[in-house]
Structure 1
Amino acid sequence: MTKFLSLLSLTFLFCYSKIDDHENGINFNIFVLGFCTMKNLTLFLLQRGTLNQKCPIDLIPPYIRYICTWPFPPCYNKNLCLGVCSTYIYHSTIIHMHVYLPLHVSVVVMTGDNSGRENDGFQAFFKCWIAEQNQHLDDLVVASKAADYNGDHDQVLLSSLVERVLKHYEQYYNAKFQWAKQEVLSMLSPPWRSSLEDAFLWIGGWRPSMAFHLLYSKSGLHPEDCSAELMRGLRFSNTGDLGDLSQWQLTMVDELQRRTIQEEKHISEKMAKLQETLADNPLVELSHLATDKMRKNNNVHEEGGDDHMERVESTLASKEEGLEKILHKADDLRITTLKNITQILSPLQAVHFLIAAAELNLRVHDWGIKKDDATN
């Protein structure tokens, strides 16, 4: 299996490196087909999560996972690649690897179309990621019940499960980071999120300090009660869940929360300063020139031709670059906060925390979609 994945990555890199070589004529089309087919296969493997016990998701190296974040070429032919990908999956995985895959699932993860819209690809990736999170939630619940029932917590297995779930979050933010290089605006205002989710977004995602409120809610505490609990040095009953936080853990969580809030404020201030630059002189002058041009053309939307739009794009490019950097900082704080909280918790407590995080994310997503469907 490892050899197969290594060959897959080498084929990918070779095809992708040849896509820009337009002088090869027919060979160019072959390389495009090869790249798109390999990308579809990688997306399929990631969406499946585990083919069976022979191919756990952890065996797929990070550099192969990044493949699913690379954009399809403009000449990508979806129907052609669908056929080739299905054939490749059948011969390579079912016959040679002796694993059984529901081939119809591969249609779900095919991304890109002849319109070349970048966010369509990430939207497909997001749907697959949500499906994987739902599977991870089931795994977490089973592990927590088994540990509670047996009373003998297997620390190694629980720690491995926590690490796997955290890697899944990392996979999401790594993909988002790569896609933001192509289309940062859609990452900040994602169309694949519901209106409910969008209303609570902080710089393209969840606010890191919210993780502490989630932890306190599941532990039976309110944030304002933590200082009092620390002063009294209370411990809860030894249940192993989030109602069993020790004084040391509460102290560490409190310190981490303070640092996280400070970093949040720092990033928010950077975003505020960048947003204010929209009213800087270059864009104000360009907006005036465009409006003046429209008046002379009886309000027909002609904004000065290609030269004018080039100036607009050039001016906005630096601002989009700033947005990309801020988004990366925000996402980095999100995943760092998750990791730091789980490091403070015991493996079983971390499992309960990740269950709560997944439940909240999945249900809010479902509720938001239902509300949007009801109003449309």
Structure 2
Amino acid sequence: MRTQAEEKFSDYFEKWVCRLEEYCHQLHSASRETSITEQELRALVSKLTAHHKEYYTAKWAAAAAAVGGGGDDFFAFFSPPWSSPLENAYSWLTGWKPSTAFRVLEALRAQGGTFVAEDQMKRLEQLRAKIRLEEERVERVMERQQVGVAERRMVELARLAGRRGEAAVTAAAGGQVDVLVDAAIKGLATGLERIMKAADCVRLKTLKGVLDELSPAQSVEFLAAISALQVQLRRWGKRRQSQVEHRSRETASSSRKRRAL
């Protein structure tokens, strides 16, 4: 069952994706329109970048509120109930992996031949190498965070919490353990919040870096492709999830009927 905080962000995210889909249609239309001006293309690109920035602002605010409330709600960002299992399977530290942007560029270049000129490609490859280093840096921090769960203090807390059912553990001692566990969990959430923001910053840096190297027309085509990828992945994931849930209900219904016979 979702918490109130999860429901609130789920509603926001659904509306955000719906707007992204609307922008995606505009981008596709603009990429095929020959009479559109460069100024109009730039305005459309600005709308999309502002839309992404708005998302991260809302996400960080919701995450900070969750951590401030004790940290329990925050962990949903690493396995979000507002996303399908398929989307979560392809998630990198609560979002799309920055390297994906360069794969999208490669696909567009393969389709369009000269979508990206050679001099642009060289600069984009340099950016790609920098972003890969940024990804690895964030991954190392995440690895240290995960290993930290098994540090001496956490192991001792786990041992004490495991003894709470024993008669030797008094109610006062059990309450003290709860306080220590809550503090430890909040500390874990704080560390993960920093990692999430670091990963999001790499995503934003990637988006800005790529768009800085592309012309307005190229930017529109790139944003249309990467937005369509996100929208379609969500559609496929939700459809698949709906099919699984439907089969599960049918199985449960069949079981009840057999028991009733």
User: TM-score per shorter chain, which class?
Assistant: 0.7 to 0.9
Aligned partner (choices 20, 42, 52) of residue 169 of structure 1 = 52
- The structural deviation recorded for 1:163 is 0.9
Higher helix share: 2
2: CA distance between counterparts of 1:359 and 1:287? 45
Aligned partner (choices 36, 58, 75) of residue 185 of structure 1 = 75
Aligned partner (choices 126, 131, 140) of residue 255 of structure 1 = 126
- The structural deviation recorded for 1:116 is 6.4
Aligned partner (choices 129, 149, 159) of residue 278 of structure 1 = 149
Residues 217-239 of structure 1: CA deviation (Å, up to 9, x unaligned): 12108xxxxxxxxxxxxxxxxxx
Partner of 1:322: 191
- The structural deviation recorded for 1:292 is 2.1
Identity, in percent, stands at 28
Contact 1:290 1:304 survives alignment (8 Å): no
Could you tell me which runs of 5 or more consecutive residues in structure 2 were left unpaired when the two chains were aligned.
67-73, 246-261
Instruction: Output aligned runs, 1:86-165, within 5 Å.
Output: 117-147=4-34, 150=35, 154-165=37-48
Using the TM superposition, name which of 305-314 and 250-259 deviates more. Answer: 305-314
Partner of 1:334: 203
2: CA distance between counterparts of 1:296 and 1:243? 75
Amino acid at match of 2:87: E
- The structural deviation recorded for 1:243 is 3.6
- The structural deviation recorded for 1:242 is 7.3
Residues 112-150 of structure 1: CA deviation (Å, up to 9, x unaligned): xxx962111110000100110011011111211213xx4
Q: Does 1:355 align with 2:224?
A: yes
Q: Does 1:218 align with 2:108?
A: yes
Contact 2:164 2:174 survives alignment (8 Å): no
Residues 221-273 of structure 1: CA deviation (Å, up to 9, x unaligned): 8xxxxxxxxxxxxxxxxxxx674311111011100000000000000000000
Question: Over alpha carbons, which structure has the higher Rg?
Answer: 1
Residues 76-119 of structure 1: CA deviation (Å, up to 9, x unaligned): xxxxxxxxxxxxxxxxxxxxxxxxxxxxxxxxxxxxxxx96211
TM-score normalized with structure 2 length:
0.85
CA RMSD of aligned residues (A): 2.0
In structure 2, relative to structure 1, the CA distance for the partners of 1:303 and 1:292 (3 Å cut) is farther
Residues 37-91 of structure 1: CA deviation (Å, up to 9, x unaligned): xxxxxxxxxxxxxxxxxxxxxxxxxxxxxxxxxxxxxxxxxxxxxxxxxxxxxxx
Could you tell me which runs of 5 or more consecutive residues in structure 1 were left unpaired when the two chains were aligned.
1-114, 222-240
Partner of 2:135: 264
Aligned partner (choices 158, 167, 181) of residue 312 of structure 1 = 181
- The structural deviation recorded for 1:306 is 3.2
TM-score normalized with structure 1 length:
0.60
Partner of 2:256: none
In structure 2, relative to structure 1, the CA distance for the partners of 1:216 and 1:303 (3 Å cut) is farther
